[in-house]
């Protein structure tokens, strides 16, 4: 199947998952698909853009910068871990950073965004399942980090992101998604100043249908759109 056909199938599955939701989530009925382009060529990304991909996701700042230079302007999202020494390169490129996970990183993004005269939209990444191999703050640290970000003028907190553990059976990830949805609903209800809580980023190729059923409105899908990655 072509990239365009794959993208259409993902969109269709997302629509089916929205229809299966048992109640209307606070995230609303619209779901954006982020096409994850890591390890795929600029030509493949161009195909996805032509097919109407709304946003592109990359894990690494350098890879995204190199690819963006070969492509028409697009909405780039940083979905991988961000090191403080890459912030200077990241801020000009990314519409949304999904992976804010520490006070130190928040302060560095604030410093760089202030210099660039940009208001940087960010999501806080939460390590819901507490896996050693995954980045993200522990759920217990969320409130403090959200308050800190709320106080930074050049950041705008827009929601939360998580990566569930990989399970063959995506059903097993459902409790993780449900837990993050609860944290998201609380954060939205808290109505912190200087925030616009509207994005809940969860779900990848293996589990995006379950994530959408549990209220995700931003899914990050690579393999189902572009095929397997070749490292």
Ligand X SMILES: *Cc1c(COP(=O)(O)O)cnc(C)c1O
Binding site for ligand X (CB under 6 A): 36, 38, 59, 79-80, 163, 204-206, 220-223
The string of DSSP letters for 28-55 reads -S--EEEEE-TTS-HHHHHHHHHTT--E
How near is the Cβ of 23 to ligand X at its closest, in Å? 26
- Residue 24: CB atoms within 10 A of its CB come to 10
How near is the Cβ of 98 to ligand X at its closest, in Å? 7
Residue closer to ligand X by CB (options 197, 221) is 221
How near is the Cβ of 207 to ligand X at its closest, in Å? 9
Alpha-helix residue ranges (DSSP H) falling in the chain: 3-20, 42-50, 61-68, 87-93, 103-116, 142-150, 174-190, 208-213, 223-226
How near is the Cβ of 121 to ligand X at its closest, in Å? 17
Residue closer to ligand X by CB (options 62, 151) is 62
Q: Which residues are CB-neighbours of 212 under 8 A, at least 6 positions away?
A: 14, 17, 18, 21, 31, 203, 219
How near is the Cβ of 100 to ligand X at its closest, in Å? 13
Residue closer to ligand X by CB (options 203, 215) is 203
How wide is the angle at C-alpha 31 spanned by C-alphas 12 and 184, nearest 5°?
A: 140
Q: How far apart are CA 72 and CA 25, in angstroms?
A: 34
Residue closer to ligand X by CB (options 120, 162) is 162
Cβ-closest position to ligand X: 222
Residue closer to ligand X by CB (options 36, 53) is 36
Q: What is the largest CA-CA distance in the chain?
A: 47
């Amino acid at each position: 199947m072509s990239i365009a056909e794959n993208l259409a199938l993902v969109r269709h599955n997302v629509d089916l998952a929205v229809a299966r939701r048992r109640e209307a989530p606070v995230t609303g009925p619209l779901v954006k698909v982020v096409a994850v382009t890591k390890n795929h060529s600029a030509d493949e990304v161009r195909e996805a853009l032509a097919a109407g991909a709304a946003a592109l996701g990359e894990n690494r700042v350098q890879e995204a910068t190199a690819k963006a230079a070969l492509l028409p302007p697009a909405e780039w999202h940083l979905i991988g871990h961000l090191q403080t020494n890459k912030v200077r390169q990241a801020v000009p490129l990314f519409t949304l950073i999904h992976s804010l996970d520490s006070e130190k990183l928040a302060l560095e993004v604030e410093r760089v965004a202030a210099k660039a005269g940009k208001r940087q939209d960010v999501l806080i990444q939460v390590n819901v399942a507490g896996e050693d191999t995954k980045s993200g703050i522990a759920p217990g640290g969320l409130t403090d980090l959200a308050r800190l970000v709320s106080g930074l003028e050049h950041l705008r907190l827009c929601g939360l992101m998580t990566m569930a553990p990989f399970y063959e059976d995506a059903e097993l990830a459902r409790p993780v998604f449900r837990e993050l949805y609860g944290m998201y609903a609380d954060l939205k209800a808290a109505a912190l100043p200087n925030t616009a809580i509207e994005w809940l980023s969860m779900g990848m190729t293996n589990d995006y249908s379950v994530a959408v059923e549990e209220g995700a409105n931003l899914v990050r899908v690579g393999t189902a759109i572009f095929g397997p990655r070749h490292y």
